[in-house]
Amino acid sequence: MAGTKRKAPDDAAEMDGRAGADCGLGLPADRPQRDRPNPGQPGRLEAGVAADDYFRHLYASEPDFRRLARRDAHFAAALQDNGQLDFSDPKATMQLTRTLLGLDFGLKLDLPEDRLCPPVPNRHNYILWLKDLMDTTSYEQPGRKLCGLDVGTGASCIYPLLGTAQRPWHFVATDIDMKNLSFARKNIQLNGLEDLVRLLERKPDDSLIPLDEAGIQSIDFVMMNPPFYTSEDDMVSSAKKKARPPMSACTGAPVEMVCDGGEVAHVGRLLRESLALRSRIQWYTSMFGKLTSLDALVEQLREHGIDNYAVTEFVQGNKTRRWALGWSFGQMRPAEHVARGMKASYWKKILPSSVTTDLLVLPADEPVDPVIAKIQKIMGDLELMSWEWEQGAAKGLGRTAENVWSRAWRRKRLQERERGQGDTCTLPSTRPKECRLGFEVGVVVGKTETCISLHWREGSDPLIFESLKGYLQGKLKATDQVNTASN
């Protein structure tokens, strides 16, 4: 998708919610993209989709400590003679975080010894998932300018640091702890991000999402890494249960790690606030430290009838696992790999419904042009709101206001024509103008087969998606020449 030009539908800004939101930072619309030094690569790496490939694979494998030590003398000093890092030593883990931020993102960090030191690969995974979530729920090109809210940014201000390093994003970042706020401010300044990150002090009982207080009408996403534990006992017993030597040093203060009701209650608060704010924010997201908490929150989403959600797991090597959940009141649905990012079949019950389905699979040696011509013909015969085929990307985007392929619709249409109310080209003004289903048809030529698939991009009605799938499968499988939409 990246690199191909596609025109966003006219109402894309409305569908995406809040084009041009600037987190109240008063940014000029044409603010030049920030670029930052990237000692991992020659030259400078500009934030944006061009750099995505580099960022995506940064922590695909465990960091090589000896290599890091060769590149950073401070890290070399923190390494043990055997080439290992003593994870039970807070100074050593803090140096690892500093080194990775410096070498991989060109970021600087100053942290107190008595506050949480974020492991970079885990926090980076959240940003990678968010990029996919936001990219796949917009008709605009990936990498658009976005405004996010980081609830509980911590002393490191890690998410705004990582987010602004990779994309033209800006942030509002909150916290309730004065020490965290003062270090977060320092880290914003150290990295010259004053014009991209706005810090807000909150009180424990204030709302988590201070849109009105910050004078912001709407933003694109909320992210949160909540205090996980219900009590200090819960924190200690949880750490004991983790059979993962060597034990990582945890420098987190109680305000960072513990809250009443733990993460289920904290994310529950976010959910309640989202029920009032609804589409003022496109995606509400949170990380989880316990899988059971994710399970509980998915159940709560379902109780509230929210079916547009995404779940994923973040894995670092075979050690730490974290999970994330996002939900939206908007119409755009995330791609399959973003919404259903949990592999183990046991967790199928918490996954949202699938948005991708195969329409037809052909042997790879079968020519693909006739299939594409057939797809174009089928779509051309339907009275869609729009249909646009991208030749280079071998995919097409369609939007429809109604089930225009159904017998009932065609019968009604015929009657209207007979009464002289409509012609063959334009929809009468009485017809709904709102999009009920946005979909993408893609053709992927693999080594052994060619796959024609249908993706649900927009809308909240699973039945119309299923109906289109059945209709297209029938049409594509039919061997005769397609003439009209007659199924």
| By the rule CB under 6 A, 338 interacts with ligand SAM | no
Least CB distance to ligand SAM at residue 322 (A): 10
Residue 116 sits in the site that holds ligand SAM (CB under 6 A): yes
Q: How far is CA 19 from CA 15, 16, 271, 397, in A?
A: 9, 7, 23, 21
User: In whole angstroms, how close is the CB of 239 to ligand SAM at the nearest point?
Assistant: 14
The answer to whether 95 and 249 have CB atoms below 8 angstroms apart is no
CB 331 within 8 A of CB 15: yes
User: What is the smallest separation between the CB atom of 159 and ligand SAM, expressed in angstroms?
Assistant: 6
Residue 289 CA, chain-centre distance (Å), reads 18
Q: Give the residue with the Cβ less far from ligand SAM, 273 or 440.
A: 273
- CB 170 → ligand SAM: shortest distance, Å? 17
| Options 58, 120, 255, 441; binder of ligand SAM; rule CB under 6 A | 255
User: Does the footprint of ligand SAM cover residue 149 (CB under 6 A)?
Assistant: no
3-state secondary structure the chain: CCCCCCCCCCCHHHHHCCCCCCCCCCCCCCCCCCEEECCCCCCEEECCHHHHHHHHCCCCCCCCHHHHHHHCHHHHHHCCCCCCCCCCCHHHHHHHHHHHHHHHHCCCCCCCCCCCCCCHHHHHHHHHHHHHHHHCCCCCCCCCCEEEEEECCCCCCHHHHHHHHHCCEEEEEEECCHHHHHHHHHHHHHCCCCCCEEEEECCCCCCCCCCCCCCCCCEEEEEECCCCECCHHHHHHHHHHCCCCCCCCCCCCHHHHECCCHHHHHHHHHHHHHHHHHHHEEEEEEEECCHHHHHHHHHHHHHCCCCCEEEEEEECCCCCEEEEEEECCCCECCCHHHHEECCCHHHHHHCCCCCEEEEEEEECCCCCHHHHHHHHHHHHCCCCCEEEEECCCCEEEEEECCCCCCHHHHHHHHHHHHCCCCCCCCCCCCCCCCCCEEEEEEEEECCCEEEEEEEEEECCCHHHHHHHHHHHHHHHHCCCCCCCCCC
Binding span for ligand SAM by CB under 6 A among 175-183, 240-248, 357-365, 456-464: 175-183
Least Å from the CB of residue 423 to ligand SAM: 58
Kindly state the smallest distance separating residue 155's Cβ from ligand SAM, in Å: 7
Question: Segment 258-297, which members bind ligand SAM (CB under 6 A)?
Answer: 259
State yes or no: residue 176 binds ligand SAM (CB under 6 A). yes
Which residue has the CB atom at the shortest distance from ligand SAM? 152
Shortest distance (Å) from residue 256 CB to ligand SAM: 4
Q: State the minimum distance, in angstroms, from the CB of residue 151 to ligand SAM.
A: 5
CB closer to ligand SAM out of 289 and 398: 289
Encoded one letter per residue, x for contact with ligand SAM by CB under 6 A and - for no contact, window 214-253 reads -----------x-x--------------------------
Query: Least CB distance from residue 123 to ligand SAM, whole Å?
Result: 6
User: CA torsion, points 177, 179, 185, 188, in degrees to nearest 10?
Assistant: -90
Give whichever of 91 and 412 is closer to ligand SAM, judged by the CB atom. 91
Please choose, out of 154-162, 413-421, 438-446, 447-455, the segment that lies near ligand SAM by the rule CB under 6 A: 154-162
CB nearer to ligand SAM: give 99 or 156: 156
Q: Minimum CB separation from ligand SAM for residue 406, in Å?
A: 49
Contact stretch for ligand SAM (CB under 6 A) within 34-42, 170-178, 353-361, 460-468: 170-178
Q: Is 175 in the site for ligand SAM (CB under 6 A)?
A: yes
Record the tokens describing residue 421, joined without a space. Answer: 């109310």
Question: Residue 187 and residue 108: Cα distance in Å, rounded?
Answer: 7
CB of 350 to ligand SAM, least distance (A): 23
Name which position in 9, 17, 102, 118 contacts ligand SAM (CB under 6 A): 118
Is 177 one of the binding residues for ligand SAM (CB under 6 A)? yes
Task: Give the whole-angstrom CA distance, residue 400 versus residue 406.
Answer: 12
* 476 vs 293: CA distance, rounded Å: 43
If the CB atoms of residues 134 and 158 are measured against ligand SAM, the closer one turns out to be 158
Instruction: Compare residues 184 and 332 and give the one whose CB is closer to ligand SAM.
Output: 184
Based on the shown chain and the rule CB under 6 A, indicate whether residue 52 belongs to the binding site for ligand SAM: no
**Nearer to ligand SAM among residue 256 and residue 383 (C-beta):** 256
- Does 256 engage in binding with ligand SAM (CB under 6 A)? yes
Q: Which is nearer to ligand SAM, 116 or 264 (CB)?
A: 116
Question: Is residue 165 near ligand SAM by the rule CB under 6 A?
Answer: no
Question: Taken in order 351, 353, 355, 357, is the CA torsion positive or negative?
Answer: positive
Among 15, 96, 127, 158, binds ligand SAM (CB under 6 A): 158
Rounded to whole angstroms, the Cα distance separating 361 from 331 reads: 29
Using CB under 6 A as the binding criterion, the count of chain residues that bind ligand SAM stands at: 23
Considering only 125, 164, 180, 331, the residue that binds ligand SAM (CB under 6 A) is: 180
Q: Cα 361 to the chain's mean position, in Å?
A: 29
User: Which among 200-208, 299-307, 454-462, 476-484 is the span making contact with ligand SAM, rule CB under 6 A?
Assistant: 200-208
Binding site for ligand SAM (CB under 6 A): 116, 118, 123, 151-154, 156, 158-159, 174-177, 180, 202, 204, 208, 225, 227, 255-256, 259
